[in-house]
Structure 1
Amino acid sequence: MENSIYIPIISDYGFKTTFGNEADSLFLRIALQALIKSDTRIREVKFDKNSFEALTVDSRSGIFDLACTDENGNQFIVEMQLGQAPHFVQRLKFYALHKFNTLVERGEFDYANLPKLYAIAILEKNILPTAHFHTIANLRSQQNEIIDHQMTFIIVELAKFTKQVAEIETDLEKLVYTMKTLHTTEPTQYPAFWDEEWLKRAIDELDTRKMTPEERAYFARVTAANAEAVKAEKQKIREAVEQKEIETVTKALRRGKLTLDEIAEDSGVSMDFVLYIQRNLSAS
């Protein structure tokens, strides 16, 4: 980011000012049409409340990155994920099924006329054991026959997209290429399709040279908040790892079948760490 002209679309700020741009939804509408591989043009979208309350005291609340409805009543939820997320499919199911329950309740439990629901995930890393960067999933039988069209899961894995500019043809490919490379591309290497109106408008929103003082201030606040969130998450991970190491070494010391060197080697920790746990056990 320090030397880049453009803010990454896949950043929190970038996603909100492109996909979540309520003042100008052209980029979002064409992007959604491309992601669901529809030939039908989406002419308008209405942004929906993107948070939901827990259904019971013990269940979870949540927030979608984006939720909207098109002019035909089709429902969309869009999630963006940076970094590793091995269980992201479960999270997407949780969000999609909650949205489904909301649709049923609004229809007074009339299952016959439910609108289509598209749960879309765009991920920086790979999570599926598949080769293609764009996956569309529906409920199917063991013979691969479609059982349900009402709910569709769409997963885009940016890391799997390897096409070069000369190979790009579809809006989906243009979208994914832009999301993956915009913030790293030199001005002299911009592809011609970035002049298409839907992409041009989105790219202009991410151009740091065109930001107003208010936009710069907002960007700084979002960036700082994200940095704090990342720092807090890393601390949680470090604490979880350390707790696991403590439990592993403690268990090995109590069993008394290994030398201290063997415990350190098997647990992947230092001898000083093992001695520290041993002293605490002796003192307790």
Structure 2
Amino acid sequence: MRYLDPKADLTFKKVFGEHPDLITSFLNALLPFETEDEKIVSLEYLPAELVPETPLKKNSIVDVRCRDSNGRVFIVEMQMIWSPAFMHRVLFNASKAYVRQGDKGEKYELLQPVYSLNIVNDVFMPEIEEFYHDYRIVHMEHTEKVIEGLRFIFVELPKFKPQTFSEKKMQVLWLRYLTEVDEKTRVVPEELMNVPEIKKAVDQLEESAFSDAQLWGYDDFWDAVRVEKTLVSDALNKGYNQGIEQGREEGREEGMAQGREEGMAQGREEGIAQGIEKGIEKGIEKGIEKAKIETAKRMLQKGFSIDDVCELTNLDKEIVERLI
């Protein structure tokens, strides 16, 4: 038996976008519901956002939208490649979904919460050990004071390590499903197959269930993701290294100048050290900016639109337009 990876556009939407019982189980497991009364009982799918069919949005983002019997809205996104612009997009989409409730003439107090669940197949907070990030609108000094309405959950899949949490059993099992089942899998772990919902989700991944055209699209998806990762990684590494070297040179010059002005050996040493430190900081900033520009140039050469380049690199549109 050969399986496909559930994180791809084709498979993720088949599993979670066509089976209400599976997305219900997934949401109940991954969202921070504190009581059984908060759990989703039943839901209906909402139309996906109408976004341009561009290489970037097609290959980087997968989303499923639904609403439960209480009117709460849930947006589920699978982000293959992290970029700072993604978090802004998440905020925009969730806010838009919340505001749209008002278009129906609902009173403000009747507006229902919007939950945004974002599964990221990348690490974007390397300085934090936890893989699960829960964002709410809270009072800065009294965090128990919360403005209800929007809630954002980000899961960094590469950080997830299976552990036994009795109170979070389904969360662990669903995350294992996303991280342990792929094209190399021949035998799915028994503990996953013993859970009816996850067994059903695994069955949806059997290669034999897809047409040749679908399988071609599946392979094309991963090819495009690898190309995008390479473009970003190569450009950032090149720019970072150049920036560090340039920063060291600027730092030495600045430090020597400061040391001469002080006219003392100790001052000269301190000046050189401070200058190098400042130079490295400046170099890193310049390196990152160069990396973004290099990435933008290569993306434009690959046929990406200006808007997509701006979204991935976080560069101003005016700067990208000058690169054409």
TM-score using structure 1 length: 0.69
Letter paired with 2:21 = L
Residue number among 111, 119, 126 corresponding to 1:122 in the alignment? 119
Residue number among 9, 12, 23 corresponding to 2:9 in the alignment? 12
Per-residue CA shift, 1:155-204, capped at 9, x if unaligned?
A: 1111121125xx25411111111101111675456132322111011100
Q: Distance in 2 between matches of 1:227 and 1:69?
A: 33
Q: Which runs of 5+ in 2 are unaligned?
A: 53-60, 244-282, 288-324
* Residue 220 (structure 1) aligned with residue 219 (structure 2): no
After TM superposition, the structure 1 stretch with the greater mean CA deviation from structure 2, 38-47 or 222-231, is 222-231
Are residues 186 and 8 of structure 1, via their aligned partners in 2, closer, same or farther at CA, if it must alter by over 3 Å? closer
Look up the match of 2:109: 112
Q: Distance in 1 between matches of 2:98 and 2:16?
A: 22
Letter paired with 2:201 = A
Look up the match of 1:131: 129
Report if aligned partners of 2:95, 2:150 keep a CA contact under 8 Å in 1.
Answer: no
Q: Distance in 2 between matches of 1:168 and 1:238?
A: 35
**3-state SS in 1 of match to 2:175:** helix
The 5 A counterparts of 1:134-213 are: 134-141=132-139, 142-164=141-163, 167=164, 169=166, 170-183=169-182, 186-188=185-187, 190-208=189-207, 210-212=208-210
Are residues 107 and 175 of structure 1, via their aligned partners in 2, closer, same or farther at CA, if it must alter by over 3 Å? farther
Look up the match of 1:36: 31
**3-state SS in 1 of match to 2:88:** helix
Q: When you count helix as a share of all residues, which structure comes out higher?
A: 2
**3-state SS in 2 of match to 1:137:** strand
Are residues 53 and 203 of structure 1, via their aligned partners in 2, closer, same or farther at CA, if it must alter by over 3 Å? closer
Q: Distance in 1 between matches of 2:221 and 2:26?
A: 27
Look up the match of 2:95: 97
**3-state SS in 2 of match to 1:51:** coil
Identity value in percent:
23
Structure 1 position 106, deviation (Å): 2.4
Residue number among 21, 26, 33 corresponding to 2:21 in the alignment? 26
Report if aligned partners of 1:64, 1:77 keep a CA contact under 8 Å in 2.
Answer: no
After TM superposition, the structure 1 stretch with the greater mean CA deviation from structure 2, 178-187 or 88-97, is 178-187
Q: Distance in 2 between matches of 1:145 and 1:206?
A: 42
Root mean square deviation of aligned Cα: 3.5
Letter paired with 2:47 = K
Report if aligned partners of 1:19, 1:27 keep a CA contact under 8 Å in 2.
Answer: yes
**3-state SS in 2 of match to 1:180:** helix
Q: Number of residues paired by the alignment?
A: 232
Are residues 28 and 238 of structure 1, via their aligned partners in 2, closer, same or farther at CA, if it must alter by over 3 Å? closer
**3-state SS in 1 of match to 2:17:** coil
Are residues 186 and 119 of structure 1, via their aligned partners in 2, closer, same or farther at CA, if it must alter by over 3 Å? closer
The 5 A counterparts of 1:200-279 are: 200-208=199-207, 210-212=208-210, 214=211, 216-224=212-220, 227-228=223-224, 231=227, 233=228
Q: Distance in 2 between matches of 1:229 and 1:158?
A: 16
**3-state SS in 1 of match to 2:75:** strand
Q: Distance in 1 between matches of 2:183 and 2:51?
A: 38
Q: Which runs of 5+ in 1 are unaligned?
A: 55-62, 249-265, 269-284
Are residues 64 and 12 of structure 1, via their aligned partners in 2, closer, same or farther at CA, if it must alter by over 3 Å? closer
After TM superposition, the structure 1 stretch with the greater mean CA deviation from structure 2, 188-197 or 110-119, is 188-197
Are residues 158 and 225 of structure 1, via their aligned partners in 2, closer, same or farther at CA, if it must alter by over 3 Å? closer
TM-score using structure 2 length: 0.61
Structure 1 position 223, deviation (Å): 3.1
